[in-house]
Amino acid sequence: MSPLMAALPADLVQIPSKLRHPDDYAIGDFSKDNEEHQEDNEEVAKSPQHDSSAISHAPPKPSPSLSSLQKYHRSQIRQFDLTTRHSIKKSPLLRSKKDSKEFSKLRSDLKVQLERQQKDELADLQRILDVSEEDLAKRQERQKEQKRLKAEKRRLKALEEQKEREKLIEQAQNDPNSAKNMENEAIRNLLMGRNQMVQEIQADGHCLYRAVADQLVQRRIAIPGGEHTERGVQERESMPTYSTIRRIAAEYLRKHQEDYLPFLGLENDSEYEGYVDKVENSAEWGGQIELQALAHALNVPIRVIQSTQPNEIAIDPVEKSDMERRPTPIFLTYHKHLYASGEHYNSVRDTRTVLEEDLGEDEGEG
């Protein structure tokens, strides 16, 4: 090694040998080069030609991004300049003007090579990042397609399950021994013994209240604030609706909280008021509590016909000693298996009334 080369730190002398073709460069080289520079630093620190206080000329390698690599390159140039100036001041080999001039040329050549290497590294990293962006776009497109295929698969599976459910429902409807058909048959037979038949009511969460309203019209029973008419009951010149019946039940429950709160499993007045509010303003199903409230509020006996024992549930508004004062009962039917959505109430019709209506229609057509 020439005296001039010996005056330079070891890793600066090696710069030309570190130049590589871009194909040999990879993002992972950052950490590898960092280790190499660290080893070079240790060797330079041990070299007898240099003071132990010499400035470190190997900045830490950056993370693989253009901005971090550019920052790293700027740091390299600064360290190169500082280290070579330090060598000029400290080296005993650079005393003559000729040696200093040759050293300056060597220093300039090495810096050009360093800048060329940096340019190659930037170009190579840009190429790697471009490929990475393209891969990312392709990967995102693949993921999007995979999500679409999964969604389509779930949709087809749900469709198959729905078809299977409909098939099972159809089979159950056609099976005379199904719970639904056996329940319907039992209720039909019970009503036949009373000369009655089922009058179907819409299944929408209001069925109990719709059935009660229908019975009040059929039995011509007045409701609070209503009046008798030739065809049934009117309230403010209109037939009672499920919302009217809900309001009547809710008002009675509010006035008699102490009678019903213990049976609802509620802990305080606020929960009870929330329950009553649902009775009045939601499509929440009604049940035994609401039927009791309506029987008392309307002062009318309610009979619920069901397939299981007891076949008839009696809900009376007054004591038995006042039986002679009670109006004619209204009848509902209770169905546990009619709909998959849950319990359901229907109204009834007297068979004779239905026959008379049918005969009247036939005569009108004649």
- Report pLDDT digits (tens) over 120-175: 888 888 887 777 666 777 778 888 888 889 999 999 999 998 888 788 767 766 77
Looking at domain 176-365, its CATH class is: alpha beta
Fill in the DSSP letter of residue 238: B
- pLDDT (0 to 100) of residue 93: 58
Residue 346 has pLDDT above 70, yes or no: yes
Mean pLDDT of the chain: 77
- pLDDT (0 to 100) of residue 34: 44
The residue type at 225: G
Instruction: Find the mean pLDDT for residues 320-331.
Output: 70
Q: Which residue has the higher pLDDT, 366 or 254?
A: 254
**Rounded to whole angstroms, what are the CA distances from 35 to 29, 30, 32?**
10, 9, 5
* pTM recorded for the entire structure: 0.51
Q: Which of 66-75, 227-236, 256-265, 330-339 has the lowest mean pLDDT?
A: 227-236
Q: Which residue has the higher pLDDT, 13 or 298?
A: 298
pLDDT tens digits, one per residue of 51-106? 434 434 455 554 467 888 888 889 888 888 888 777 666 666 555 677 677 777 88
Question: Residue 80, exposed/middle/buried by CB under 10 A (0-12, 13-18, 19+)?
Answer: buried
**Rounded to whole angstroms, what are the CA distances from 231 to 163, 197, 214, 221?**
45, 20, 12, 11
Q: How many CA atoms lie within 13 A of 55 on its CB side?
A: 15
Write down the domain spans for the chain.
3-143, 176-365
Q: How far is CA 28 from the centre of its chain?
A: 41
Residue 198 has pLDDT above 70, yes or no: yes
pLDDT tens digits, one per residue of 285-296? 999 999 999 999
